[in-house]
A and B are shown apart, each in its own frame.
Chain A
C-alpha cells in the first residue's frame, strides 16, 4: 500500500531565509510525486512533480524539490522565503505500478514571518 508522510504540522521561517518542507513516501512500485499549495478557502494549486529523470525538480514560484530514492523522500525547498509563501502545503504520491490513486499527505502549514 502506498502512503505519504509529512512529519511537520507547521514550519516557521523568517522572510529571506531558506525553507524546507519535508515529505517521505512509501510505494510498491515507482512513484510519481507531487507538491501542491493551498491558500485559505481555495482548492489546491500544483507546484511541481517528479516523474522520472533529474532528481532535482523545479516548479512554480521559485520552489524546487529533490527526489531521493534511497531515503524515499521528496522535500520541498525554496532558497529565499517570502511572506506570501505562507500557506498549507501538501505532498502527494501516485504509484505508477497499479491503481494510480493519488494519496495526499496531512499537510504542512508554512508561516513566513516578515
Chain B
C-alpha cells in the first residue's frame, strides 16, 4: 500500500531555531500533500495544502512566513518552522492522497513529528 515517510520523528531545539520536517511518498507520486498540526487530545488542524511545483495554499490563520512549505518533487514536501518558539511546540503530521491524488482516495499519513521548543 501507499507509504508516507516523515522525518524526523522527534525534534527538541532551542527557541529561535528553524526546523525542517520532510515528508516523502515512498511508493507513489503525490502531486498534493497536506500538513496538519495536532494539539494534545485534539483533532487535526489543516495548516496548508502543498502542491508540487507551485505555492502552497495556507489555511486561514496560518502564517505562511512562519511555516514555509516547499514541494519540489512529486515525492517530497518539506515544512520549515522558522524561528520556532515554545508556542510552536506540537505534533505535525503530513499526508498525501494515493493514486496520484484522486479525490476518492484516502489520505495516507506520515508518523508525525513531535516538535518541542525549549
Q: Which of B34, B42, B43, B94 has the most CB of A within 10 A?
A: B43
CB distance from A2 to the nearest CB of B (A): 13
Determine whether the beta carbon of B43 is less than 8 Å from that of A32.
no
Determine whether the beta carbon of B43 is less than 8 Å from that of A107.
yes
Q: Which residue of B lies closest to A105 (CB)?
A: B43
CB distance from B50 to the nearest CB of A (A): 14
**In the complex with contacts A43-B4, A43-B110, A106-B42 CB distance below 8 A:** yes
Interface residues of B in 55-98 (CB under 8 A from A): 91, 93-95
Determine whether the beta carbon of B112 is less than 8 Å from that of A32.
no
User: Within 8 Å CB of B108, what residues of A?
Assistant: 46
Q: Is B31 an interface residue (CB 8 A)?
A: no
The size of the chain A interface, using a CB distance under 8 A, is 21
In the bound assembly, the distance between CA atoms of A104 and B93 in angstroms comes to: 13
* Option from B4, B107, B114 in Cβ contact (under 8 Å) with A102: B107
User: Within 8 Å CB of B54, what residues of A?
Assistant: none
Determine whether the beta carbon of A46 is less than 8 Å from that of B107.
yes
**In the complex with contacts A42-B111, A42-B112, A49-B93 CB distance below 8 A:** no
User: Within 8 Å CB of B103, what residues of A?
Assistant: 32, 94, 96, 100
In the bound assembly, the distance between CA atoms of A104 and B95 in angstroms comes to: 13
User: Within 8 Å CB of B112, what residues of A?
Assistant: 41-43
Q: A41-B9, A42-B112, A49-B104 are in contact. List 5 more A-B contacts (CB 8 A).
A: A43-B93, A43-B95, A104-B43, A104-B44, A107-B43
